[in-house]
Structure 1
Amino acid sequence: MRKSTGGRTRPTLWGATALVSLMTLAGAAHGQQYHQAPMLDGTDLPPVEERLPANPLVVTPVESVGTYGGTWRSALRGGLDNAWIARTVAYDGLVRYNREWNEIVPNLAESWEVSADATTYTFHLREGLKWNNGTPFTSADIAFAVELFSEPSYGVGGFIKNPSNPVTVEVVDDTTFKFVFEKPNGVIMDELASVNGFTVVSLSKDYCSQFYPKYNPDAAAQAKAAGFETWELWMTDRCSWATETIRWANPELPMMNAWMIDEPLTGDASRATFVRNPYYWKVDTEGNQLPYIDHLSMRVSDSLEELTLMALNGEIDFQDRHIATVANQPLFFDGQEAGDYRLGENVPSNMNTMVLQFNMNHVDPKRAELFQNKDFRVGISQLIDRQEIIDVIFTGQGEPFQAAPRPESPFYDEEMAKQYTEFDPDAAAAAFEAAGLGARNGDGFYTFADGSPLVVTIDMISTVRPEWIDMMELLQLQIEAGGIDIELNNIDRTLYYEKRPAGDYDAQIWQGDGGLDVIQEPRYYMANGDESVWAYRWAQWFQGSRPEIAEEPAPWAKEQMDLFNQLRGEGDPVKRDDLMKQILAIAKENFPVIGISLPGNGYYIARNNMRNIAEPMLHAYLFPTPGPYDPFQWYFAAE
């Protein structure tokens, strides 16, 4: 067995300027005096010493020990904007990443051991952990969550529902349990340390078992009495079991986070609020129970203009999501003094401002054949004047770049990042000829080989990145000048996702995930999951989750999948990295998707009196910024 209270995941990304590590892993010294927030004084809660575990997690503040109080104001763009809550409230799994994103460190679990064959992971919870309602948090809650997420009627579940390597949970005692896999699992710790790690610690057995027939034989009847057709719908409503969209809609749902639901996020909410969890299990170096900030208040609005105006008026204390756009940056820079805020730097994990994905699994065989042809994709790439896009849209920030690991990544390959990025219409014409396109018609556009019209429709969602509209309009002009007729289709996000299983779409765009989190987010390097839009049906073949639409992949894609299965079963991180390099080499050779440019650094907005905020921050979703920088130790300094 390999014993650990922390595990290295990849070489340091930040070099000599690495931020100071946040975690003091040892427990509080014997006889430590604990303190609570003044807002809890005079309540009928047990003393703070009884609410904390025997070994609270001691957190070293970024700058200084803080003071209690205040409300952190931010905003959500619409009632389905759960990602901001996940990044600010919910980053508390069994383990977590440190601030440098180069090590996995203890969290709810204070230690763990890994079997030599990487099939058994034994975790030890902190003794005396409690949900925010005061009931014990134990190994039984982990087992219950895995049991619920394993239900066939629950659609997804990450590693819990991986058909190629199922997991079972063995409860040893209240604080000890084991994840036991059928085959080696070398990547589970990264899964648990990411934003996805919230899943296995999100369901209280004491509360949620009342909705489950196995533990409550009357659950089906009680569900109907409560107005639900099935117990599954009842469970979904009360425990957010089957959908992320209502996870924050039930104030009764127990949580282990620093703040708990106060005003829920419902479909018609104009605001969602959170209040400190009196049973939160972390303290600072002086024994002050965290968090420092009492309340979180999130305005819910579909209007980007309203959110931007709130920030300019000093009505947002910290935020980057939605408002920190390229177009807004000059406004926010000029408004710092009037709004009493500052701009901090985000270093993105994204490797691209936009990735263009042609659907190789199109239901139209003629289109599928064309989009699978590498020469066609190369020709499209060589028609894109990336420098014009960078200069016009991003005021010169960034550089031409394909879908490839970022320069800061240990997987960086300059040839992969720069291939086919030169604007070269003559080379594009030669590539189209090699791809077998027909001659140009009277309008100057290429046809299919049989002479039929070729029009490529590119789906987009402008609400995700406002700059995509301008990018795509420029890109359309550039590609059409080279002879490919392009139509832009700006659609609703729901429809955008619904089109994928049907397979009846030409191309879609998205941002360039996987620049630093290369192994964890390989969607553009291989067809590994639902976000590999360029080969959605190959990904279903790999996952085994939708056999009715799965298609057998091309030999090169199957080779990648074999390598990735080896990687997932490899316990040695050096060998995992070598396998990933082989996967990337195949991606480099076959060029499945087209990138535009390497993003420049982003920014966040923070009120001038908000302290303990790190700068710069590495910015990602799997490393759910700002969560790994511990907002629970942020505080408002006296002005």
Structure 2
Amino acid sequence: MSKYIIAGAIALVAGNAMAACPALTGPDQGGAYPHLFEKTEFENLQSCTLSFSENPAIGQLNSLIAGNPALLPLAQRLPQEPLIIAPYESIGQYGGVLNGISKATESGTSDLLSVRHVNLVRFSDDLATVVPNVAKSWGWNADFTVLKVNLRKGHKWSDGSAFTAEDIAFWYNNILMDNNVIEKPKDRFLSAGKAVKVEALSDTTVQFTMNEPAPGYLDNFAQDYAQPFLPKHLLENFHPEFNADADKLAKSLGFDNGYALINFYYGQSDWKDIPTPLLKDAAAAERLVEAGFTAIMPTLESYLVVEESLEKRRLVANPYFYQTDTAGNQLPYINEINEVYIGDEDIQTAKLIAGEVDYKAQAVNLPQAPVLLENKDLGKYEVYLRPTIAQTTIAFNLTDKDLEKRAIFNDVKFRRAMSIAMDRDQINEIAYFGLGAPTQYTGFDADTTPFITEKQKTSWIQFDQKAARKLLDKAGVKDQDGDGFRDLPSGKKFELNIQYATQGTPSEVVEIIAKSWTDVGVKTTIKEVTSDEYRNSQSANDLSVLSWVMGRPLTNIASNIETLVPPYGSFFDLRTGMLWSQYLDSNGAEGVAPPATVAEMKKLTDRFVTLKAGSDESNKLGVKIADRVIDDLFIMGTVKAVSPVYRSNALANFEVPKTSSYEFYRMYPYLPAQWYFKN
């Protein structure tokens, strides 16, 4: 071959390699995953070289982050292997403030948490495929006992420090498993009830070694609010295992010891919306900045908090965020998030109608939909009615402080009576405009879990107050004084009060339930409280009747069975059997021994998480679990319906979610870092 032909070919290849990359949009661009590319993958597919650009305002935004160092150049802020996003509709433009509403600091906040959230992986918008995010790739051994996760070279925390596998090992071994910080690690992060072995094999590879097969372990991170990494470079300064002078340093900053300062940053919780140091103690936060530390913990998220009060929270774009679009623009496009706290549903609705909000789904209840739809042109927004996964459920406190009530609540005849006493058709018509279906709580999402049967979905949901009265009589709850209302077996008045928060239960639902129960002789009143009041009372075992949204998809339960065993979820769920949980946690030293069905359920669920979701063995076991949920009837379903999703017309690259639900972490599957505002 002529040397001139060879030289020409080399020049052609070099020219192609240096060509500008096309600004591709949409899901189907030839990558391994919809909307996603690794940098090298994208450049090879397009025969191009990406060049990168930054938000012109990023320096000013960085200056708002108390204690953050001066910015490094963009080439040093992005990883060597950034995650490349092909936007849904179009390459965006920088600027603007995303306006959102939450109920309070730690209430109704998942909407905006999901906008900024990151984790090792996520579910794609098909809600079935696990795709890369913080993690570049991963691999299991044959029996799902060893998981290796590969991270991105050059990834940095929001303060410019290197993010490595050590930050994951530190989170697990030195925070999660240290009872000075976390009193009791969540079961979903354990294997066979014991610690997982977590090792940093290199800067970019971390290995998880299980005690038994755990095929859903990685999937848990695809949908979980908890992030399996913490900034070791910051927290190790105050951890006595890493710094012999940790307590001395902490005391010089006004804290009792190093652990107290770690908890000041971290808050003893993986939940991200606990108050930051800016709200906990502004003077202490200022001392940290003066000593050379940041005022809040560095993050990998797309936004971080810069101002916080009891009325609102302000966040700015992370200048070290690891994602770009296909044109090389660092994400996110939107400069800031403004989150205000509105506890009153009527005021929240008024702000939505006025178009003062850009996105809202959580705690927007279906009864609000007609007025929102009526005013959408005036307010320049859209409202989408999307299927829910969870439904409003109701339960009785199985370890109620009143021992006589507790005995009644633990009689399955009573629970069955109260279930069939509820007029679910009326709930559907009045609260859900006929758009739902009466459905029993089965633990799993009854609509998308393939093994849930029609019989399971409809067990104990028929409206039959005559049969309910007979069951109540058999349970010993009778009208003894002739006043028309049933009494406890001792003759004491038997009255129920449903305390509820509209974040979890529409008012119309509890109004109908209270009337239905009163109609069969169980006098029932209702009282609306804030989400925080409800959750605190529930956790303190102070409520007799409990109500919240419950129900999860198969993929979610296959990696996390906490809503199937006492106390049936976390602080943010419906919880009953709190004293059963206390008994189990203390090996019988405290609390109340649970009935045998609890131990039987635990055996089933412990086996369930060792099986691959969707396999025949897993499905057969799932049927048994759902049957036990229904037979126990510790939690009762009401109506499964649709729920509104609100979005400003100005917000671009917004993909309407398949469900209006928390269970896949709201907008997390839909790449909100590429949202932007149209001119």
TM-score grouping bracket, smaller chain normalisation: 0.7 to 0.9
Match in the other structure for 2:605? 564
- Give distance in 1, aligned partners of 2:265 and 2:98: 27
Cα distance, 1:81 vs structure 2: 3.4
- Give distance in 1, aligned partners of 2:434 and 2:226: 38
Q: Secondary structure at the match of 1:261?
A: strand
Call closer, same or farther: CA 1:341–1:499 in 2, change over 3 Å.
closer
Match in the other structure for 1:586? 628
Match in the other structure for 2:12? none
- The question of 1:164 aligning with 2:190 is answered no
Q: Secondary structure at the match of 2:324?
A: strand
Match in the other structure for 1:308? 349
Contact 1:514 1:520 survives alignment (8 Å): no
Aligned equivalent of 2:237, options 210, 227, 236:
210
Cα distance, 1:573 vs structure 2: 4.8
Q: How does 1:133-532 map to 2 (within 5 A)?
A: 133-146=159-172, 147-153=174-180, 154-158=182-186, 159-160=188-189, 164-198=193-227, 200-201=228-229, 203-242=230-269, 244=271, 245-246=273-274, 248-250=276-278, 251-263=295-307, 265-266=308-309, 268=310, 270-322=311-363, 324-350=364-390, 352=391, 354-404=392-442, 405-438=445-478, 440-448=480-488, 450-465=489-504, 467-468=506-507, 470-488=508-526, 490-491=528-529, 493-494=531-532, 496-500=534-538, 503=541, 505-514=543-552, 517-519=556-558, 525-527=564-566, 528-530=568-570, 531=573
AA of the residue aligned to 2:306: D
- Give distance in 2, aligned partners of 1:472 and 1:120: 47
Q: Secondary structure at the match of 2:348?
A: helix
Call closer, same or farther: CA 1:82–1:210 in 2, change over 3 Å.
farther
Structure 1 window deviating more from structure 2 (604-613 vs 300-309): it is 300-309
- Give distance in 1, aligned partners of 2:586 and 2:192: 8
- The question of 1:24 aligning with 2:37 is answered yes
Which string of whole-angstrom CA distances, capped at 9 and with x for unpartnered residues, describes residues 174-225 of structure 1?
A: 0111112333323312221123342x12x21111212222223222233233
AA of the residue aligned to 1:155: E
- The question of 1:52 aligning with 2:78 is answered yes
Structure 1 window deviating more from structure 2 (559-568 vs 451-460): it is 451-460
AA of the residue aligned to 1:514: R
- Give distance in 2, aligned partners of 1:307 and 1:364: 37
Call closer, same or farther: CA 1:506–1:262 in 2, change over 3 Å.
closer
- Give distance in 1, aligned partners of 2:314 and 2:539: 36
- Give distance in 1, aligned partners of 2:41 and 2:385: 33
Cα distance, 1:613 vs structure 2: 0.8
Aligned equivalent of 2:653, options 612, 621, 630:
612
Cα distance, 1:508 vs structure 2: 1.3
- The question of 1:64 aligning with 2:104 is answered no
Match in the other structure for 1:10? none
Call closer, same or farther: CA 1:616–1:212 in 2, change over 3 Å.
closer
AA of the residue aligned to 1:585: D
Contact 1:359 1:507 survives alignment (8 Å): yes
Which string of whole-angstrom CA distances, capped at 9 and with x for unpartnered residues, describes residues 122-141 of structure 1?
A: 11111111111111100111
AA of the residue aligned to 1:206: H
- Give distance in 2, aligned partners of 1:532 and 1:179: 31
- Give distance in 2, aligned partners of 1:503 and 1:258: 38
AA of the residue aligned to 2:518: E
- Give distance in 2, aligned partners of 1:369 and 1:210: 52
- Give distance in 1, aligned partners of 2:73 and 2:41: 19
Call closer, same or farther: CA 1:616–1:113 in 2, change over 3 Å.
closer
Match in the other structure for 1:33? 51
Call closer, same or farther: CA 1:497–1:39 in 2, change over 3 Å.
closer
Structure 1 window deviating more from structure 2 (289-298 vs 26-35): it is 26-35
Cα distance, 1:92 vs structure 2: 0.8
Cα distance, 1:562 vs structure 2: 0.3
Contact 1:27 1:58 survives alignment (8 Å): no
Contact 2:111 2:361 survives alignment (8 Å): no
- The question of 1:633 aligning with 2:674 is answered yes
Structure 1 window deviating more from structure 2 (359-368 vs 206-215): it is 359-368
Q: Secondary structure at the match of 2:386?
A: strand
- Give distance in 1, aligned partners of 2:645 and 2:396: 33
Cα distance, 1:375 vs structure 2: 1.5
- Give distance in 2, aligned partners of 1:157 and 1:568: 17
Instruction: State the number of aligned residues.
Output: 607
Contact 1:401 1:596 survives alignment (8 Å): yes
Q: Secondary structure at the match of 1:182?
A: coil
- Give distance in 1, aligned partners of 2:362 and 2:560: 20
Q: Secondary structure at the match of 2:157?
A: coil
- Give distance in 2, aligned partners of 1:284 and 1:163: 41
- Give distance in 2, aligned partners of 1:433 and 1:58: 65
- The question of 1:534 aligning with 2:592 is answered no
Q: Secondary structure at the match of 1:367?
A: helix
Match in the other structure for 1:595? 637
Cα distance, 1:532 vs structure 2: 5.9
Call closer, same or farther: CA 1:502–1:171 in 2, change over 3 Å.
same
Which string of whole-angstrom CA distances, capped at 9 and with x for unpartnered residues, describes residues 210-246 of structure 1?
A: 2222223222233233232333222222343447454
Match in the other structure for 1:130? 156
- Give distance in 1, aligned partners of 2:539 and 2:317: 41
- Give distance in 2, aligned partners of 1:524 and 1:143: 27
AA of the residue aligned to 1:192: F
Cα distance, 1:247 vs structure 2: 5.3
- Give distance in 1, aligned partners of 2:461 and 2:668: 35
Contact 1:196 1:622 survives alignment (8 Å): no
Larger Rg: 2
Q: Which consecutive unaligned segments of at least 5 residues does structure 2 have?
A: 1-32, 63-69, 279-294
- Give distance in 2, aligned partners of 1:496 and 1:293: 34
- Give distance in 2, aligned partners of 1:60 and 1:631: 12
Which string of whole-angstrom CA distances, capped at 9 and with x for unpartnered residues, describes residues 10-69 of structure 1?
A: xxxxxxxxxx94333574416322222232489974443332222211222222222222
Percent identical residues: 23
Match in the other structure for 1:12? none
Q: Secondary structure at the match of 1:420?
A: coil
Contact 1:149 1:241 survives alignment (8 Å): no
